[in-house]
Amino acid sequence: MSIEMIKQHYPVVIVGGGQAGLSMSYRLQKKNIEHLVLEKNQLMNSWKTQRWDSFTLVTPNWQCDLPDHPYDGDDPKGFMNREQTIGYLQRFADKVKAPVMEGVEVQRVSKNESGDYQVVTSKGEFSCDQLVVASGGYHQPIIPRMAERLPETVVQIHSNQYKNAGQLPEGSVLVVGSGQSGAQIAEDLHLEGKKVFLAVGNAPRVARQYRGKDVVEWLDEMGYYRTSVDQHPLREGVRDNTNHYVTGRDGGREIDLRKFALEGMELFGTLDNFDGQNLTFQADLNENLEFADSVYNNINSRVDSYIAENNIDAPEGYQYEPVWQPETEREQLDLAASGITSIVWCIGFRPDFTWLDAPVFNGKGAPVHQRGITQAAGVYFIGLPWLHTWGSGRFSGIAEDSLYLSEAIESALADADQSVCA
């Protein structure tokens, strides 16, 4: 936006210019609701700067369905790579043409004396009637304090800084964490010929293809992606779940850490500490591997039941049988003797909403909401994992979430207008 176009007060301010923020802008434009999008960096910043070179989506392309912007390529059952994903999102941004200010950091939001929300930014102050937080929940990279005690000669980066094996020094690498990012980065380094040590956490895994279809396709048919938080057995606890590891690389395949072990990757349990010489690990490698496999088999069993109940003609099913077992639980590793010269931390992010002064958070600092609507009138969230359904934090559920919230905002603004007129 040009300086001449910027106003001091808006009916709605959206914080965040990713797919969630632009989806909200698209919906509000359709309803002729004036608004401003504030983006700390650039539109779609995390996609453009925080993905490794070999990154691919882990869900099939057909699940990309932003508001009036479905997947527009020629491989719906494939998996877009980094550049293709950025292209898809850029075409969405070009379509939306959001009223956005880039390079603007929101520093404080609080109620002012008139009852509006005062938005203090690095480029001045604004006020608004309604505030939409669309900045996601992945803000502060988690690196444990024990990292401070590691030798300065060991290069340490977080998963959001990883690009490729070439950015790391010669020598072995320790990948800490086996969620989606950790498993895929460990695979990337392994395929590039790096000696990889992997600290395995309790992340679950899932098959890529099962009984003739991608498992995502089966789960979609079974209605899983339409299940809301309120309907899920774990209720709000599902928001704390770790994502299943799988990959869309090379057309899509499953990731089996046991297979990597057969090929020379060294697996350990959860990283616990560094005593000045040795990295120490919890004795839970076998437990974590078995948990991942149990989830894998459980999902397959649910698909089996669905196929049987609906008399679907499909190839025979199977139960995964481990191809490798750890002989012992290795609880320490001499850092120098191992040849480890770099560590990639893949243990997630913490949310940071300290800039928002509103009574909408629980004891862990996470927003409390019902489908994105908080108890603080005029404050909304979008783009969070399991905001409403599994797809809320992905490309498949934001269209529905943004429509729902835009209608809530439209109603709230109308009620406010009627109150003023009365």
pLDDT digits (tens, 9 = 90+) for 134-163: 998 888 999 999 999 999 999 999 999 999
Q: Are residues 107 and 132 both part of a single domain? A: yes
Q: Are residues 208 and 327 both part of a single domain? A: yes
Q: Are residues 325 and 371 both part of a single domain? A: no
Lowest mean pLDDT, pick from 112-116, 174-178, 416-420: 416-420
pLDDT of 242 reads: 83
Q: Are residues 126 and 150 both part of a single domain? A: no
Q: Are residues 69 and 92 both part of a single domain? A: yes
pLDDT of 420 reads: 58
Domain span including residue 87: 3-139+351-421
pLDDT band at 268 (very low <50, low <70, confident <90, very high): very high
For CA atoms 319, 330, 347, 155, give the dihedral sign: negative
Give the mean model confidence (pLDDT) for residues 208-216.
97
Q: Are residues 299 and 313 both part of a single domain? A: yes
pLDDT of 137 reads: 82
Q: Are residues 228 and 336 both part of a single domain? A: yes
CATH of the domain at 397: 3.50.50.60
Q: Are residues 157 and 103 both part of a single domain? A: no
| Percentage, residues of the chain above pLDDT 70 | 98
Q: What's the domain count of the chain?
A: 2
Q: Are residues 315 and 363 both part of a single domain? A: no
pLDDT band at 364 (very low <50, low <70, confident <90, very high): confident
Give the mean model confidence (pLDDT) for residues 257-280.
97
Q: Are residues 312 and 368 both part of a single domain? A: no
> Mean of the per-residue pLDDT values for the chain?
95
Q: Give the model confidence (pLDDT) of 103-125 as tens digits.
A: 999 999 999 988 899 999 999 99
pLDDT greater than 60 at residue 4: no
Give the mean model confidence (pLDDT) for residues 170-197.
97
pLDDT of 3 reads: 55
pLDDT band at 2 (very low <50, low <70, confident <90, very high): low
Q: Are residues 335 and 406 both part of a single domain? A: no
pLDDT of 1 reads: 62
Give the mean model confidence (pLDDT) for residues 80-88.
98
Q: Which among 327, 345, 363 is the end of a domain? A: 345
pLDDT greater than 60 at residue 421: no
Q: Which among 315, 345, 375 is the end of a domain? A: 345
Note if the pTM is more than 0.85.
yes
Q: Which among 300, 318, 345 is the end of a domain? A: 345
| Residue 198 near residue 256 (C-beta atoms within 8 A) | no
Q: Are residues 330 and 290 both part of a single domain? A: yes
Cα–Cα separations (whole angstroms), residue 226 to 79, 229, 301, 400:
21, 10, 20, 11
